[in-house]
Amino acid sequence: MDDIIENVKDYYSKQLQSKNDLKTNSCCCSEKPPAEIREIVPLIADEILDRFYGCGSPLPPLLEGMTVLDLGCGTGRDVYIASKLVGESGTVIGVDMTAEQIGTAKKYREEQSKRFGFKASNVKFLQGYIEDLKSLGIEENSVDVVISNCVINLSPAKEQVFKEIYRVLKPGGELFFSDVFADRRIPESLTTDPVLRGECLGGALYIEDFRRLMAECGWADFRYTSISGIDLGDEEIESKLGFASFSSRTVRAFKLDTLEDICEDYGQAAYYDGSIPGFPHFFDLDDHHRFFTGKPMLVCGNTASMISETRYKKAFKVIGDRSVHYGKFDGCGSDGGSELPKTGSSCC
């Protein structure tokens, strides 16, 4: 376990100097971010953008005034984007274990705050482990939104990470993260290979083990918001890992004690009022719930909770409650969405 941590630190401090040094496109964003985020990216310092190793765009909407925690923030690209989105009344905390990464991130605190026109910086960076947020002073029920971009796959103690996230989130808080997943378990001899691990492939979670792990750590239901296949590209890596399919996925999960392990039908309906900035016509809660503005849609009990007991409630109206049960709600929940794609697409 310590060897994995030390190899990953070495990879992100010594082996990689910029995203051009990556051997594959697994740590490489294939998801087109919403316009609100695309407008902020040019305001971020070049050095930070050059050393961005994310595999998605885990920045959910409605962040103004929120406390956001970025796990494995690297040189801080997503922390600074979130800083602009939460505004001067919000706070963003970035955690990373690699001194070089976090050192670069810290260097730009004042500069980025000036670029955003803020009186003072609203970000802080903490050097430490995402498996132990307690020792960094992050209290339970203190964070509105946890984000993470291509990091949890690297952890040798993923169960501890998901438990820590559950602990620090406020009730109704959101976990929104992008990561690399596999369609089967990776043999142990390959999970410890420093290059495969560093490239975010060796430690990729098998999607069904991820589902089991989430349930064990308190997350009764979670949703994928996007899934893109990864082409390994590099011949040597392909020769070792070509037996598996990898995908980059963005996951949305809420800390809600009203969620059930499968979706149940209580005859509820919901509609979206079109008020989330950047989403006037529809809002995708996940890969199988597109809410068109003003159009009622039948929802299961879990979906109703996700949009009525969280910060999204200001944009949704839910009709009905759980007083009458109509049986299982088919085609929804953690396994209700898309299948793993067979081929990849990438912007890199």
Ligand X SMILES: C[S@@+](CC[C@H](N)C(=O)[O-])C[C@H]1O[C@@H](n2cnc3c(N)ncnc32)[C@H](O)[C@@H]1O
Q: Which residues bind ligand X (CB under 6 A)?
A: 8, 12, 27, 52-54, 72-74, 77-78, 96-98, 101, 129-131, 149-151, 154-155, 200
* Residue whose CB is less far from ligand X, 59 or 299: 59
Inter-residue contact 127 to 100 (CB < 8 Å): no
- Shortest gap between Cβ of 201 and ligand X (angstroms)? 11
Q: Please, what sign has the CA dihedral across residues 8, 14, 16, 21?
A: negative
CA distance 134 to 118: 29
Cβ at position 79, least distance to ligand X in Å: 9
| Min dist. Cβ of residue 113 to ligand X (A) | 20
CB of 224 to ligand X, least distance (A): 19
Q: How far is the CB of 72 from ligand X (least distance, A)?
A: 3
Contact 73, 96 (CB under 8 A): yes
Which of 253, 213, 210, 8 is CA-nearest to residue 129?
8
* Size of the chain in residues: 348
**Between 18 and 338, CB nearer to ligand X:** 18
Least spacing, CB of residue 97 vs ligand X, in Å: 4
Q: Which is nearer to ligand X, 319 or 347 (CB)?
A: 347
- Which are the contacts of 148, defined by CB distance < 8 A and separation ≥ 6? 58, 70, 71, 72, 130, 177, 178, 179
Distances (CA, A) of 258 to 226, 261, 282, 292: 24, 10, 26, 25
Looking only at the bridges linking them, the beta strands covering 67-71 and 91-96 are parallel
Closest separation in Å from C-beta 122 to ligand X: 19
* Beta strands in the chain, from DSSP E residues, in sequence order: 67-71, 91-96, 123-127, 143-149, 169-182, 205-206, 222-230, 246-254, 268-272, 282-286, 289-292, 297-299, 316-319
**Closest residue to ligand X, Cβ-based?**
74
**Is 131 or 264 the residue whose CB approaches ligand X more closely?**
131
Give the nearer residue to ligand X in terms of CB position, either 57 or 305. Answer: 57
Q: What angle do CA 24, 30, 31 make, to 5 degrees?
A: 160
**Closest separation in Å from C-beta 133 to ligand X:** 10
* Nearer to ligand X among residue 97 and residue 186 (C-beta): 97
DSSP state of 217: T
Specify the residue, 154 or 217, whose C-beta has the smaller distance to ligand X.
154
Closest C-alpha among 224, 206, 223, 70 to residue 151? 70
Minimum CB distance to ligand X smaller for 200 or for 299: 200
Q: Name the minimum Å distance from CB 177 to ligand X.
A: 10
Distance CA 42, CA 44 (A): 5
| Nearest CB to ligand X, comparing residues 53 and 222 | 53
- Residue 73 near residue 98, CB atoms below 8 Å: no
